[in-house]
Amino acid sequence: MSLQEELQGPPPAKLVVEHVSKWFQQKRQTVHALDDVSLEVAEGEFIVIVGPSGCGKSTLLDIIAGLEKPDKGRVMADNQPVLHPGRHRLVMFQESALFPWLNAFGNVMFGLKLKPGLRNSERREVAKFFLHLVGLKKFMQANVHELSGGMKQRVALARALAPNPRVLLMDEPFAALDAMTREQLYGDIQRIWEKRRKTIIFVTHNVREAACLADRVVIMSPTPGRIREVFEVSLPRPRDFNSIEIAEHASKLTAALKEYGAHAAATGS
C-alpha cells in the first residue's frame, strides 16, 4: 500500500445496529441501559446522538466499537457482525485517553504501529500529517501534561484519524472545552470530514453542536435507553455555528427533547 493511498483512506463503512439491548448488573439494581435500539448509518454519514445523561449513549458507542457485547441484537459493519474492537472503528472517548508516558507524536504513532502493511518511515509521515492537520505541528514532541485541554482533544482526534478508520466514534469529545475552542474544532471536524469522508457517530449534549454537525440527529431518552426520534438536518456545508438556520434546528431539537421529558438533563450540563 502506498503512502498516498494510505492518506486517501478506504471507503467509509456502512453500520447497522439491529435490535440491541443491554443490561448492566450493578450492586443494588439491574440497569436497563439500552432497549431495542436499531439504527442504520449510511456510508460516510455524520450521525449525532443527543439525549440526557444516562440514556446509554456511551454504551451504544462501546457496543458499536466492539468494546461491550450487547445482551440482545447485534451490530453489523459492512455486513460483518461486530464481535471485537477493530482498527476500522476508532473511538474518541468522553474522557481524555491519551497515554501520559508518550508524547503527542508517540500517542499518534501508537495506533499506526499496530497497523500492518506500512513501513516505519511511512508511519512517521502519516503521524506528522495528522498532527499537522489538527494544527499541532509545533507540538509533536510535547508531553501530554504540557498540552491544554483543547490541544489534548486535538491529539486524540489525530490519534483516532491516523490509522485511517472507516468509522469514527466520538463521545462528547469537546464537552470540556471553552466555547471558542469548540467552535474552532467544529470547523476543523467539518473540514476533515469533508476531506476524508468517514462514517462518524458523534455524541453530545449540545443541540446547537448537533445541528451544526449532523446529517441526522438521533434523539434518545433514558430508563431504558431508547431512540425516540431521528431528525434530518439538510443544511448546506460548511455550516456556521452561529447562523440562524442552526439556531432554528437547535430549537426544534430542544423541543423534541423536552417532549420526552429530557430537557433539564440535556441542557443542564
Partner 1 sequence: MRRTLLAILFFVALVAIWSALVRANIWSPILLPAPGQVAQYLAHAFQDGTLLTAAGVTLRRLLMGYAIGLTIGLPLGLLTASSKFVEDTIGVMALGLQTLPSVCWVPLALLWFGQTEGAMLFVVIMGTVWSVVIATDTGVRTIPPIYARAARTMGSKPLHKWIYVILPASLPFLVSGMKQGWAFAWRSLMAAEIYVTILTGFGLGHLLHYGRELNAMDQVIGIMLVIIFIGLLADKTLFSPWERFLHRRWGTGRT
Ligand X SMILES: Nc1ncnc2c1ncn2[C@@H]1O[C@H](COP(=O)(O)OP(=O)(O)OP(=O)(O)O)[C@@H](O)[C@H]1O
Smaller CB distance to partner 1: residue 168 or 219? 168
Q: Are strands 30-41 and 167-171 parallel, antiparallel or unpaired?
A: unpaired
Smaller CB distance to ligand X: residue 32 or 128? 32
Please report how the helices 149-161 and 120-133 are oriented relative to each other, as an axis angle in degrees rounded to 10.
140
Smallest gap, in angstroms, from Cβ of residue 40 to partner 1? 22
C-alpha cell at 32: 436497563
Smallest gap, in angstroms, from Cβ of residue 56 to Mg ion? 8
Distance CA 159, CA 163 (A): 7
Give all strands of the β-sheet with 89-92 in edge-to-edge order.
89-92, 167-171, 199-204, 46-50, 216-221, 226-232
91 contact choice in Mg ion, partner 1, ligand X, none (CB below 5 to 8 Å, kind-dependent): partner 1
List residues binding ligand X (CB under 6 A).
24, 26, 31, 33, 53-59, 94
Smallest gap, in angstroms, from Cβ of residue 248 to Mg ion? 27
Scan for cell 494510505, then name that residue: 6
- Interface with Mg ion, residue 206, by CB under 5 A: no
Residue 158: closest CA among 122, 181, 131: 131
Kindly write down the DSSP assignment for every residue of 176-223, as one continuous string.
TS-HHHHHHHHHHHHHHHHHH--EEEEEES-HHHHHHH-SEEEEEETT
Smallest gap, in angstroms, from Cβ of residue 83 to ligand X? 19
List residues binding partner 1 (CB under 8 A).
65-67, 85-87, 89-91, 93, 95, 97, 99-103, 110-111, 114-115, 143-146, 159, 163
53 contact choice in Mg ion, ligand X, partner 1, none (CB below 5 to 8 Å, kind-dependent): ligand X
Smallest gap, in angstroms, from Cβ of residue 82 to partner 1? 12
